[in-house]
Amino acid sequence: MTQLPTATRAAAPWTCPFCPLLCDHLGVQADGAALALVGGRCARASDGLAQASAGGDATPRVDGRPATLDAAVAAAAQRLGAARQPLFGGLATDVAGARALYRLACATGAITDHAQGDALMHGLRVQQDRGGYTTTFAEVRARADLVVFLGGPPLGLAPLLYERLGFGDTGAVPQRRIVVIGAGPDDADALRQLAALPGCGVETVALQGDLFASTALLSALVEQRHVVDAPAAYVALAAALRAARYAVLVGAPARLPAHGALVVETAVRIVNSLNLGTRAAALWIGGGHGAATANQTVTWLSGLPLRSRAGPRGLEHGPVRFGSARLLDEDAVDALLWVASIDDTTPPPQTTLPLVLLGHPMLAAHADRPGSVFVPVAVPGIDGPGHLFRSDGVVLMPLFAARPAAQPTVAEVVARITEALGS
Amino acid sequence: MSTLRIRHGRVIDPTNARGEVLREVGVRDGRFATLAPGEPVDQEIDAAGCVVMAGGIDMHTHIGGGKVNLARVLMGEDHRDGFAPWPLPTNALELASCGSCTPGTLATGYRYVEMGYTAAFEPAMVPANARHAHMEMGDVPVLDHGAYVMLGNDELFLQMLAEGGADARNFALIRDYVAWTIHATKAMGVKVVNPGGISAFKFNQRKLDLDELHTHWQVTPRRVVHTLARALKELGVPHPLHIHGCNLGVAGNIATTLETIGALEGLPAHLTHVQFHAYGTEGPKKFSSAALQLAEAVNANPQVSIDIGQVMFGQTVTASGDTMRQHAQSGLANPRKWIGADIELDAGCGVVPFRYREQSFVNALQWVIGLELFLLVCNPWQVVLTTDHPNGGPFTSYPHLIRLLMDKGFRDEQLAKLHPEVAANCALKGMTRELTLEEIAVMTRAAPAKLLGLRDRGHLGDGAAADLAIYREDADRERMFTAPEYVFKDGVQVARAGRITALPVGGTHFVEPGFDDAIEKVLSRHARRHGTLDVGHAVIGHDELCACCNGGRLLPTACFDASVSPAERRAAPKPAGIPSGDRPTDPSGEGQS
């Protein structure tokens, strides 16, 4: 049976903004300042709510000293306006925030990147170069009879992943075969949880070399190319993939190594090969903290994804060149605007550059020095409505307020900075 | 109060008058109005030597939503200038936005407005992706917009169709579901894409003819089409079912297309990008034009309208909900890459880059077929000018297309460049018809407005929204339609000689058909069973729509009262909400309403 607590759906609509699954079956109960999760259990959601409950009374700061919002906006505009090459990083915000940030990025010639930009680029670069074939949660739940995890199940990123994919729901697919390639010691608990679910036959397959080599081997076998001394487990898995009605490869770009795009590309190749005869697709878990949202929004406005800028040479994109860590390491930028409105898990990097932090109230300590501006901002989905893209990239989830807002939204603050820049 | 007077222009307003008329056009507070003689005005334009038309309306253009954004990512080559970055705008009003075949939403708005267009409709909004589509459309500046929601491949519809049996016992429930989906997604109409075929592909069927059974649900595309067309008719949704038929791009698909018209049994419908559905199997290459057969069917069925989906030569990308056909075509991708997706028990999408080449027999014939269709259908009110942007070519090629249609000599010059067998043998060679400015005005403004039920758009009659374009008369029609002298949106000048001058936010068109809310129980059960979006969360409210669309105006279009006959409806008083002024007459004499 499904573990979705459908019978206890919360009365007031709420979408949890704290992970890429954006679950809408849970609810929030306010008890004074404290927000509590109701209608189900999720450690990530509870952590996010606890942070939201704790950080209520932060105020703007300029150079480490308390300031009015007006003064913080003016200081932010002055510092970004004075920069020759600002970097907009973090970008943990909703569609409205990303829309506003694009205007400010155009006005300042800033480079945009997300806190999880490296993971985002693994998938994006493969989409750009090769394309792909993907699926969504409800399709997996309804149809997938074989699910192959490339690496351990990413429950750390998406705690309710099994529930959302319908694992344990024998009504839709009575028996699913679930194969995990390359699970590590940290995945033991995730595997135990999986094995305990009804209708899930779980197997683990050891890596052959690294994850890329293992997926490449599987790809060759799926394409029925001759492979000398192919391990029996891989031969059997390739045969199972070809025999499945709907095989789904699941991976998490954030868990992939430096050249993770190679793994993604190989998965695309496997799916395309399978689709010549049967049906298959990939599902990538990630894009949380507004990564997918900022990327989609900037892409539709500008035509180019994140890691782009409207610079002196024109509108340009550099998936490697414009990575935040690299730009900061190489002193290629001279001011940093960091946005982290959802929780405290994406703080700004250590830097001595002029810093403007539009942050969750809990992040105040990260911009408490000379040369910094801190503006506490509303948490989308807690302090007000908004929109975030779900992990599967298709569904733009509506967010709902769980309490009255004490802080301005990212969109409001950014609009004011943009306005101040022009004056 | 703001007023505008345009004098000495040749006014082409097919909704209100036959032919061109030399008359003054007045605007008061964003609406066309008859100004008193000698009344002082805020702005006066001397339009001597110019043609005045309503703003252009593109009723089938993929401007926003998931697959369009995927196309932008896939077509990185199209978003730079060779190896150099895309140049920044030279107009301080514009923000940086790039791309030719799938430009960013900002550039989409700028380029449409510069050509004199003031509204555009996204034809393939997936319910699960509806908010995203509205967000993107909201970020297309200036243009009013709306979308047709995709139905007919969603598992709940197919399940209900299967449960109702051949005599459609549960038709009322299905009709409520259609209405609820329009309501929830704030759509302007319903589009069916490869009826049942997208779902069938999920069950590993590789083709689905009109009378072929879906292996799982045991229903045929014929029933899908008829049921949806009937539901929309009974709901009084002004735009009839928007049909992307079975077998897109397949040689010999004319048979399916003609049978699809037959399957409607007289119900109104709009067949979209018909160029891709008008192929025969004659000739040595077993691929031929069936434009004549299709045009005869359209001429014989006044309740049917079409848009063409003209192919233009050069690089583009095809973005479609039709995963079955896009997968089949993916081997032809140029560059060799493509994106597909199975979507949320709702639909699918496929994005395949294409380069249409003059020397390709097939591409040359596709180009010919599109033009033949334009020239063979007698009544321009049944035809809408489109390239199915970006699938046949980008919308920026419309001025070139208009010249091809209006200028036989130019058309012949282009024809001579094509694959020699096509150039030598096509029927197009002998076609002498040159479309008139009035016919172009019908196909690019008046007919789309009428087909969408937009009574106060697409014409210059008193009370209509003052969306208009003033083109400098030029024998080179491509030059003429590339950069009008003036473009006004709701009475505000938004472009001057091909340069943006103001960027008001466009409005959102949608319809709100009525339904019995008992359908929500069925939907709740389905959502719980399949883990799809909670029913309460699925509905986009007016406030949320407004936020999605950047605060643009909400423009609900009234549904027809299905109990009233078309003749009675024409005689009936105007529904509330439609501004004062004469209702447009229907010169075609074939009102679909």
pLDDT in tens, B353-399: 999 999 999 999 999 999 999 999 999 999 999 999 999 999 999 99
Distance from CA of A390 to the nearest CA of B (A): 11
Residue among A143, A268, A275, A144 at smallest CA distance from B206: A275
Inter-chain touch B72–A279, beta carbons under 8 Å: no
Q: Which residues of A touch B547 (CB under 8 A)?
A: 96, 385
- Give A69-100 pLDDT, tens digit per residue: 999 999 999 999 999 999 999 999 999 999 99
ipTM, two decimals, is 0.96
pLDDT band at B241 (very low <50, low <70, confident <90, very high): very high
**Could you give the CA distance from residue A408 to residue B586 in angstroms, rounded to a whole number?**
52
Helix (H, G, I), strand (E, B) or coil at B557: strand
Determine the length of chain B: 593
In a mutational test of the B interface, the residue from A302, A387, A412 whose CB has the highest number of chain B CBs within 10 Å is A302
Q: Does the pLDDT value for residue B65 go beyond 70?
A: yes
Q: In Å, what is the CA distance from A135 to each residue of A143, A263, B514, B529? A: 11, 18, 33, 18
Confidence of residue A156 (pLDDT cuts 50, 70, 90): very high
Mean pLDDT (whole number) for B53-62: 98
DSSP annotation of B278 reads -
Residue B366, min C-alpha distance to chain A (Å): 26
pLDDT band at B35 (very low <50, low <70, confident <90, very high): very high
Check residue B564 and give its pLDDT.
Answer: 60
CA A55/CA A108 separation, integer angstroms: 31
Report the C-alpha gap between B411 and B428 in whole angstroms. 9
pLDDT bucket at A422, cuts 50 / 70 / 90: confident
Contact (CB<8Å) B84/A99: no
Contact B51, B437 (CB under 8 A): yes
A-chain residues within 8 Å CB-CB of B136? 300
Please tell me whether residue A332 adopts helix, strand or coil conformation. coil
Mean pLDDT (whole number) for A267-284: 98
The yes-or-no verdict on residue A59 having pLDDT over 90 is yes
Nearest C-alpha in B relative to A309: B96
pLDDT digits (tens, 9 = 90+) for B466-524: 999 999 999 999 999 999 999 999 999 999 999 999 999 999 999 999 999 999 999 99
- Parallel, antiparallel, or unpaired: how do β-strands A146-150 and A246-251 relate? parallel
Residue A35 has pLDDT above 70, yes or no: yes
pLDDT, average across residues A156-177: 96
Nearest CA in chain A to B323: A133
Model pLDDT for residues B333-344, shown as the tens digit of each residue = 999 999 999 999
Residues facing B14 on adjacent strands: none
Cβ separation of A299 and B531 shorter than 8 Å? no
The residue among B78, B95, B204, B205 with the most chain A CBs within 10 A of its CB, best to mutate, is B95
pLDDT of residue B143 exceeding 50, the answer is yes
pLDDT band at B533 (very low <50, low <70, confident <90, very high): confident
Q: pLDDT tens digits, residue range A248-265? A: 999 999 999 989 999 999
With 0-12 CB in 10 A as exposed, 13-18 as middle and 19+ as buried, what is B209?
middle
Instruction: Convert the pLDDT of each residue in B75-92 to its tens digit.
Output: 999 999 988 999 999 999
Residues facing residue B493 across a β-bridge? B488
A143 contacts in B (CB within 8 Å)? 202
Residue with tokens 């529930």: A163
Mean pLDDT (chain B, rounded): 94
Ramachandran category for residue B252: left, alpha or beta (phi over 0 → left; psi -120 to 50 → alpha): left
Segment B31-43 mean pLDDT:
96
**Residues on chain B touching A304 (C-beta within 8 angstroms):** 72, 79, 86, 98, 104
B104/A300 touch (CB, cutoff 8 Å), yes or no: yes
For chain A, which domains are there? Answer: 58-116+289-382+407-422 (3.40.50.740), 121-284 (3.40.228.10)
Beta bridge partners of B190: B149
- B75/chain A closest Cα distance in angstroms: 7
pLDDT digits (tens, 9 = 90+) for B299-333: 999 999 999 999 999 999 999 999 999 999 999 99
Measured at the alpha carbon of residue A371, what is the angle toward residues A367 and A375, in degrees to the nearest 5? 40
The alpha carbon of residue A176 is apart from the nearest alpha carbon of chain B, in Å, by 16
Average pLDDT over residues B542-561: 94
CB B115 within 8 A of CB B56: yes
Residue B587 has pLDDT above 70, yes or no: no
Contacts of B128 in chain A (CB under 8 A): 136, 394-395
- B143: Cβ contacts below 8 Å, ≥ 6 apart: B109, B112, B113, B117, B118, B119, B120, B506
Q: Length of chain A in residues, anyone?
A: 423
Torsion angle defined by CA atoms of residues B547, B548, B549 and B554, in that order, rounded to the nearest 10 degrees:
-70
CB-based contact A127 B536, cutoff 8 Å: no
Q: At A31, is the pLDDT very low, low, confident or very high (cuts 50, 70, 90)?
A: confident
Question: For A99-143, how does the pLDDT look when each residue is reduced to its tens digit (9 = 90+)?
Answer: 999 999 999 999 999 999 999 999 999 999 999 999 999 999 999
Contact call for B531 and A303, based on CB within 8 A: no
Q: How far apart are CA B304 and CA B262, in angstroms?
A: 11
pLDDT > 80? residue B574: no
Q: Shortest Cα distance from A133 to chain B (angstroms)?
A: 5
pLDDT reading at A359 higher than 50: yes
Please give the pLDDT value at position B532. 86
Nearest to B544 among A137, A164, A398 (CB): A398
A to B CB pairs, distance under 8 Å: 190
